[in-house]
Amino acid sequence: MEVSDLKYFVQKTLEQPHLLGWLDLSSNYLDKVPSELIEFPNLCILYLHGNIIQKLVYVKRLIPLKKLYSLTMHGNPVEDDAHYKNYILHFLPQLKTLDFITVLPCERMVPPPPPAVLAEEEPAGFTGTEEEMLSLLKKMKS
């Protein structure tokens, strides 16, 4: 199943799909936060750990999810970014836990990331060949 089929799957599986509150998409080789997630406004818990997300800018896709209070993104290349936690908490201030760890009040008082980091836009789609994509995935796994 593709992430793009998620809304259809949820609608066919759950009696009240609009009430979906917890979604585990961990370890699925996702390279970005799926934009389809905004279709689930009652999402409270979202697991995205163990994927291949490389850019913090994809976190912005979660801004409409005002009820989201627990997010996991550890185990993604993006975790190595110096602004990782600060960036996520800046755009998702309602989070109570990040990567299974409680967000402390003092962590919310840290100044926001630099303007250049905050203003970053989503990159254009991957324009390489399938072989280049597979090579990139292998490098990221090792």
Question: Domain range for residue 110?
Answer: 3-141
Q: How many Å apart are CA 67 and CA 96, to the nearest integer?
A: 11
What is the DSSP secondary-structure string of 52-111? ----GGGGGGGTT-TT--EEE-TTSGGGGSTTHHHHHHHH-TT-SEETTEEPPHHHHTSP
Query: Could you read off the pLDDT tens digit of each residue along the chain, which spans 142 residues?
Result: 567 788 888 889 989 888 899 999 999 999 999 988 999 999 999 999 999 999 999 999 999 999 999 999 999 999 999 999 999 999 999 999 999 999 999 998 888 888 878 888 887 665 555 566 666 666 666 6
Domain containing residue 36: CATH number:
3.80.10.10
The structural domain count of the chain equals 1
Rounded to two decimals, the pTM is 0.81
